[in-house]
Amino acid sequence: MTQQINRRVMLAGAASAAALPVSAASPALRVDGERLRATLEGLSRFGRPEGGTFADGVSRTAYSDADIGGRAYAMGLMKEAGLNPAIDPAGNIIGRRPGTDKTAKPIIIGSHIDSVRAGGNFDGDVGSMGALEVLRTLDDRRIKTRHPVELAIWSNEEGGTVGSTAFAGRLGPGALDHVYYGITLREGLKRIAGDPERLAQAARPAGSIHAYLELHIEQGGILDAARIPIGVVDGIVSIDRFDVTITGFANHAGTTPMPGRRNALLAAARLIEAVDAIVKREPGRQVGTVGQLAVFPNAPNVIPGRVEMTVELRDLSADKVAALGQAVQARAQEIATETGTEMKFHLTEHIEPALATPAIQAHIEAAAKTLGLAFIHLPSGAGHDAQLLAKLGPMGMIFVPSIAGISHSPKELTPWSDCANGANVLLHTLLAVDAAGV
């Protein structure tokens, strides 16, 4: 691992700093790290446990009172920065900084501020407040960009990238009827001043943006373990998720001999082990997870007759994900024969990978080198709004470390210096992308 990291760092010189404009090439151009910290701490008040502190995390789920309060806070900061924020029909908050070329396509930067229940203060927040800080810094330094720059705070990222999916024109029929934490998406949009009746008007066509850049915490432990401050994201992984039903025969636990049992739970246990073994048997960063299990009739004195479970596979290569899925299903049929059960797989979700644009990756590398920050390349195992924006134009993501790889937890933590590092790389990358073709 160490040799690989060193090799990656040495490759930093592959992208020349000459690609950056003069104003961006100087390491002296930096964001105000203390101001960024203040905005993050201010945002943390919304959804904080009663009587708690920043360290206690937040529950700022989409459409909740805390979400509404956090959105109002963010819009207030955007107004102060002269961005004239507006809420589109999908509930996304969009602010715009004009460019010098009125015909140029916009560069979009941003992330989300909604959280999971009992989440942390960095997931999404660093990218949203970091993007705001970048635009504040441009104003402080009186730096103009050729392209207009839009700051986007996407709605309900944690509930399925709802806002960015609508923005990309990919929100399917019936999606607004889905229930999220007790409220339909339709009613939720109304709560945050969206308009479900005009949802199609939130969509932008493919090719309508110059680029999309997103700063985010890694939500994994690779950067922290390697003591590397910047991750250049290669892409967001493909995901195949299956619902699996295993049918055996429920019978009396005391009177049914062991050889004659058709135990669905035993078959499920073997399948869980098979998923783990199949995913591990070849090199790479692919992952496989059985995260949900329901046993019927779920009684201590009855042999389980049916199990419903999920199998999820992720990798940057959709071909690898498909091959893993085929291998798991082949082994499942062997297990079914061995245990006298029946196994049925139903593909419930297929997400194509969203690969980062190489030219933007090169700009991120050059920005990190200019700032004296080491970097490595890595995939994103989690989904992000960036995977939807990649359908509209070139995309790049910047990762900063998550201590111990902890995320979706009050213990989620990224050092303030790393938050500032990420915002600085975003700043320099934005200027490079503005000056270049991409």
In angstroms, the CA 326 to CA 303 distance is 29
113 pLDDT higher than 80: yes
What is the separation of C-alpha 318 from the centre of its chain, rounded to a whole number of angstroms? 18
pLDDT at 23: 47
SS3 (DSSP) at 92: coil
pLDDT at 27: 82
Please write down the long-range contacts of 13-16, taking CB distance under 8 Å and 24 or more positions apart: 13/369, 14/362, 14/365, 15/361, 15/362, 15/363, 15/365, 15/366, 15/369, 16/366
66 pLDDT higher than 50: yes
Name the DSSP letter for residue 175.
G
Per-position DSSP letters for 313-347, written without gaps between them: EEES-HHHHHHHHHHHHHHHHHHHHHHT-EEEEEE
CATH number attached to the domain at 2-237+353-435: 3.40.630.10
The mean per-residue pLDDT over the stretch 90-109 comes to: 98
pLDDT at 22: 36
The mean per-residue pLDDT over the stretch 296-321 comes to: 97
Structure tokens at 174: 């019936």
Which among 252, 293, 250 is positioned nearest to 269, based on CA atoms? Answer: 293
15 pLDDT higher than 90: no
pLDDT tens digits, one per residue of 230-252: 999 999 999 999 999 999 999 99
- Is pLDDT larger for residue 200 or for residue 26? 200
pLDDT tens digits, one per residue of 312-361: 999 999 999 999 999 999 999 999 999 999 999 999 989 899 999 999 99
Q: At what angle do helices 125-140 and 33-43 cross, to 10 degrees?
A: 140
The mean per-residue pLDDT over the stretch 156-185 comes to: 94
In angstroms, the CA 171 to CA 155 distance is 13
Residue 298 burial (C-beta neighbours within 10 Å; 0-12, 13-18, 19+): exposed
pLDDT band per the 50, 70, 90 thresholds, residue 173: confident
Structure tokens at 299: 């009684």
Q: Outline which parts of the chain fall under CATH 3.40.630.10.
A: 2-237+353-435
pLDDT at 19: 37
Per-position DSSP letters for 340-389, written without gaps between them: T-EEEEEEEEEE--EEPPHHHHHHHHHHHHHTT--EEEEEE-S--THHHH
For the chain, count helices (H), then strands (E). Answer: 13, 18
pLDDT at 438: 87
DSSP bridge partners of 235: 355
88 pLDDT higher than 70: yes
2 pLDDT higher than 50: no
162 pLDDT higher than 90: yes
The enclosing H or E element of 6 equals helix 2-10
Per-position DSSP letters for 16-72, written without gaps between them: -GGGS-HHHH-TT----HHHHHHHHHHHTTTTPPTT--GGG-B---TTSHHHHHHHH
Q: Outline which parts of the chain fall under CATH 3.30.70.360.
A: 244-351
The fraction of the chain above a pLDDT of 90, given in percent, is 91
Structure tokens at 375: 């970097």
Architecture of domain 244-351: 2-Layer Sandwich (3.30)
Structure tokens at 71: 């959105």
Which among 174, 166, 172, 175 is positioned nearest to 202, based on CA atoms? Answer: 166
pLDDT band per the 50, 70, 90 thresholds, residue 205: very high
pLDDT band per the 50, 70, 90 thresholds, residue 25: low
SS3 (DSSP) at 392: coil
In angstroms, the CA 235 to CA 233 distance is 5
Structure tokens at 431: 């200027």
16 pLDDT higher than 70: no
pLDDT at 437: 85
The fraction of the chain above a pLDDT of 70, given in percent, is 94
